[in-house]
Amino acid sequence: MATAGKSVGGRSDTAAPAAIELRGISKAFGPVQANRNIDLRVPKGTIHGIIGENGAGKSTLMSILYGFYKPDAGEILVDGRPITIADSQTAIRAGIGMVFQHFKLVRNFTVLENVILGAEDGAMLRPSLSKARGVLKQLAAEYQLNVDPDATIDSLSVGHQQRVEILKALYRQADILILDEPTGVLTPAEADHLFRILEGLRDEGKTIILITHKLREIMEITDSVSVMRRGEMVASVRTAETSPEELAELMVGRKVLLNVDKQPARPQAPVLEMRNLSMVDDEGVERLRGVNLDIRAGEILGLAGVSGNGQTQLLEILGGYPPKNAKVGGEVRMNGQPLPLSGSRCNAGQRRRDGIGHIPEDRQVEGLIMDFAAWENVAFGWQDAPEFNKGWLMDNAAIRSDAAEKMERFDVRPRDPNLAARNFSGGNQQKIVVAREIERNPDLLLIGQPTRGVDIGAIEFIHKRIVELRDAGKAILLVSVELDEILSLSDRVAVMFDGRIMGERLPDQTTTGELGLLMAGVTDMSAPATAGIPPEDQHPEERA
Amino acid sequence: MDKMPKWADVILTPLISLVLAMGISALVILAIGESPWVALTTMVEGALGSSYGWGFTLYYATNFIFTGLAVAVAYHASLFNIGGEGQAAMGGLGVALVLLNIPLPHWALALPVAMVGAALFGAAWAFIPAILQAKRGSHIVITTIMFNFIAAALLNYVLVNKLRPVGSMDPASARFPESTNLPALTDLFASIGIEWGRNTPANITFFLALAACLLVWVLIWRTRLGFEIRALGKSEPGAVYAGINPVRITVIAMLISGGLAGLMAINNVMGESERLVLNAVEGAGFIGIAVALMGRNHPLGILLAALLFGFLYQGGGELALWTTIPRELIVVIQALVILLTGALDNMVRVPLERLFLSRRRTGGAKG
To the nearest whole Å, the CA of A456 is away from the closest chain B CA by 24
Interface test with B, best of A317, A321, A437 (most B CBs within 10 A): A321
- The answer to whether the beta carbons of residues A355 and A442 sit under 8 Å apart is yes
What is the pLDDT, as a whole number, of residue A296? 96
Q: What is the DSSP letter of A101?
A: S
For residue A540, pLDDT beyond 80: no
For residue B363, pLDDT beyond 60: no
Among B222, B227, B243, select the one facing A320 at the smallest CB separation.
B243
Are β-strands A475-480 and A444-448 bridged in parallel, bridged antiparallel, or unpaired?
parallel
What is the pLDDT, as a whole number, of residue B68? 98
For residue B55, give the amino acid letter.
Answer: G
The whole-angstrom distance between residue B137's C-alpha and the CA centroid of its chain comes to: 27
Task: Report chain B residues whose CB lies below 8 A from the CB of A318.
Answer: none
Q: Do A379 and B227 touch (CB under 8 A)?
A: yes
- Round to whole Å and give the CA distance between A35 and A56: 8
Mean pLDDT of B141-145: 96
Q: What percent of chain B has pLDDT over 90?
A: 73
A219 touches chain B (CB under 8 A): no
Q: What percent of chain A has pLDDT over 70?
A: 91
Mean pLDDT of A391-408: 95
For residue A63, pLDDT beyond 70: yes
> Torsions phi, psi of B275, nearest 5?
-160, 165
Contact partners, residue B86, CB within 8 Å, separation at least 6: B125, B144, B147, B148, B149, B150, B151, B152, B285
DSSP H or E stretch at residue A292: strand A286-296
- Round to whole Å and give the CA distance between B263 and A53: 55
Q: Do A30 and B218 touch (CB under 8 A)?
A: no
Mean pLDDT of A284-298: 94
Interface test with A, best of B241, B354, B355 (most A CBs within 10 A): B241
Least confident of A21-25, A191-195, A301-305, A331-335: A191-195
- The answer to whether the beta carbons of residues A357 and A446 sit under 8 Å apart is yes
To the nearest whole Å, the CA of B290 is away from the closest chain A CA by 23
For residue B100, pLDDT beyond 70: yes
Mean pLDDT of B15-29: 89
Helix axes B51-76, B224-234, angle to 10 degrees: 70
A1-95+176-182+208-253 and A270-366+441-457+466-538 agree in CATH topology: yes
Q: Do A30 and B235 touch (CB under 8 A)?
A: no
For residue A12, pLDDT beyond 70: no
- Round to whole Å and give the CA distance between A426 and B23: 45
pLDDT in tens, A169-189: 989 889 999 998 888 777 778
Q: Which of A335, A318, A333 is nearest to A279 (CA)?
A: A318
pLDDT in tens, A226-267: 999 888 899 999 999 998 888 888 887 776 666 777 888 999
Mean pLDDT of A501-527: 82
For residue A49, pLDDT beyond 50: yes
For residue A538, pLDDT beyond 60: no
Q: Do B243 and A384 touch (CB under 8 A)?
A: yes
pLDDT in tens, B196-244: 988 999 999 999 999 999 999 999 999 999 999 999 999 999 999 999 9
> Torsions phi, psi of A48, nearest 5?
-115, 125
Among B224, B231, B241, select the one facing A394 at the smallest CB separation.
B224
Q: Which of A482, A480, A476, A388 is nearest to A438 (CA)?
A: A476
For residue B9, pLDDT beyond 80: no
Band of the pLDDT at A355, cuts 50, 70, 90? Answer: very high
Q: Which residues of A395-488 form beta strands (DSSP E)?
A: 444-448, 475-480
What is the pLDDT, as a whole number, of residue B253? 98
What is the pLDDT, as a whole number, of residue A255? 66
What is the pLDDT, as a whole number, of residue A15? 53
Q: Do B223 and A393 touch (CB under 8 A)?
A: yes
Among A350, A366, A419, select the one facing B238 at the smallest CB separation.
A366
For residue A72, pLDDT beyond 70: yes
What is the pLDDT, as a whole number, of residue A531? 37
- Round to whole Å and give the CA distance between A291 and A496: 9
For residue A507, pLDDT beyond 50: yes
A413 touches chain B (CB under 8 A): no
Mean pLDDT of all residues belonging to chain B: 91
Mean pLDDT of A100-112: 88
Instruction: Name all domains of chain B by residue range, CATH numbers in brackets.
Output: 55-312 (1.10.3470)
A381 touches chain B (CB under 8 A): yes
Band of the pLDDT at B366, cuts 50, 70, 90? Answer: very low
- Round to whole Å and give the CA distance between A361 and B241: 11
pLDDT in tens, B190-209: 999 999 988 999 999 999 99
Among B2, B241, B361, select the one facing A367 at the smallest CB separation.
B241
A1-95+176-182+208-253 folds as: Rossmann fold (3.40.50)
Instruction: Label residue B80 exposed, middle or buried (CB < 10 Å: 0-12, 13-18, 19+).
Output: middle
ipTM of this model?
0.87
CATH assignment of A270-366+441-457+466-538, among 3.40.50.1820, 3.40.50.300, 3.90.920.10, 3.50.50.60: 3.40.50.300
To the nearest whole Å, the CA of B289 is away from the closest chain A CA by 23
- Round to whole Å and give the CA distance between B253 and B250: 5
Band of the pLDDT at A464, cuts 50, 70, 90? Answer: very high
Any idea where the domains of chain A sit in the sequence? 1-95+176-182+208-253, 270-366+441-457+466-538
The DSSP annotation for A390-452 comes to ETTEE-HHHHHHHHHHHHHHTT-SS--TTSBGGGS-HHHHHHHHHHHHHTT--SEEEEESTTT
- Round to whole Å and give the CA distance between B55 and B185: 8
pLDDT in tens, B55-91: 999 999 999 999 999 999 999 999 999 999 999 999 9
Q: Which of B291, B126, B111 is nearest to B213 (CA)?
A: B291
- Round to whole Å and give the CA distance between A315 and A478: 10
For residue A165, give the amino acid letter.
Answer: E
- Round to whole Å and give the CA distance between A446 and A466: 11
To the nearest whole Å, the CA of B345 is away from the closest chain A CA by 19
Sign of the CA dihedral running B137, B142, B145, B147: negative
Band of the pLDDT at A527, cuts 50, 70, 90? Answer: very low
Mean pLDDT of all residues belonging to chain A: 86
Q: What is the dihedral of CA A486, A487, A490, A491, to 10 degrees?
A: 150
What is the pLDDT, as a whole number, of residue A16? 65
For residue B153, pLDDT beyond 90: yes
Residue of higher predicted confidence among B193 and A540: B193
Determine the 3-state secondary structure of A112 from DSSP. Answer: helix
What is the pLDDT, as a whole number, of residue A524? 62
Least confident of A132-141, A508-517, B117-126, B341-350: B341-350
Are β-strands A492-497 and A500-505 bridged in parallel, bridged antiparallel, or unpaired?
antiparallel
